[in-house]
Amino acid sequence: MPDLNTPAPGRAAEPWTGRTVVVTGAAAGIGGGVADLLVGLGATVVGLDRDAAALDAAAARHVGSPGRLVPVTVDVADPAALDDAARRVGAEHGTLDGVVCAAGVQRYGTVDETDVATYAEVMDVNVGGAFHTCRTMVPLVRAGGGGAVVVVSSVQAFATQSGVAAYTTSKAALQGLVRAMAVDHAADGIRVNSVSPGSVDTPMLRWAAGLFAGDRPAEDVVAEWGRSHALGRVATPAEVAEVVEFLLGGRASFVTGADVKVDGGLSARLAAALPEADA
């Protein structure tokens, strides 16, 4: 089996035939984009998601693709369910070459507006989901001789909008988890990194846009959010997936404990703009 930590310079994309990767949130959004890319490159993707119908539909789309998507319905907020999923993965696939933690939820509210149940939901899915996915799946990566883990964080781990206290807390916590795993598992031949997207055109973003649209079309809100990025638009899941695939593979053989911002320049721009000069 190819060594995911062997340098492979000069290749635009790697062949993934013979490799198996677990992807959470694989039915849609960024996780769906990662699954699509890897399956298209020949990987076996074990897709974890709580939306069974969407996951089955995603698997059906890939019939005839170079690789395949194996659907496993599981809620990543349930540690026992992840234990069961890992046993199934081990029994059916033996070992893993990589893990991508992309499942997540967004909820709004300041710290005093966020009730206990909402805080618990955000932390259980965003942080607990990544932690317990890695707790159960990293041993399968180690058993295969090493590989890579990529966690989907957010630019809001570093700077924040107003009214997203629980979400920002969860994404900042993921950065600590990535650093800890990178140090702890380097000797196992396992690299661990994160990507921090800005606004990405996913079902979650569209849902959020609908909350703030008022009488406007949600599309107008998405476009407005896009204009806050230096590139003037939101990203596609496929664009984030390209960076995830790089971090998973041998071209990133000396990259661990790192975060890559995939944010279209959002975090590079200061909010205080210079005044327009008189014509």
Find the mean pLDDT for residues 108-120: 97
pLDDT at 10 over 70: no
pLDDT of 203: 84
pLDDT in tens, 14-42: 789 999 999 999 999 999 999 999 999 99
Q: Which of 16, 131, 167, 225 is catalytic?
A: 167
CA distance 149 to 274: 41
pTM passes above 0.95: no
Question: Is-contact 146 188, C-beta < 8 A?
Answer: yes
pLDDT of 13: 60
pLDDT in tens, 167-191: 999 999 999 999 999 999 999 999 9
Q: Which residue ranges form the domains of the chain, and what is each CATH number?
A: 20-198+235-263 (3.40.50.720)
**Annotated catalytic residue 167:** yes
Q: How confident is the model at residue 12 (pLDDT cuts 50, 70, 90)?
A: low
Rg, C-alpha atoms of the chain: 19
pLDDT of 279: 53
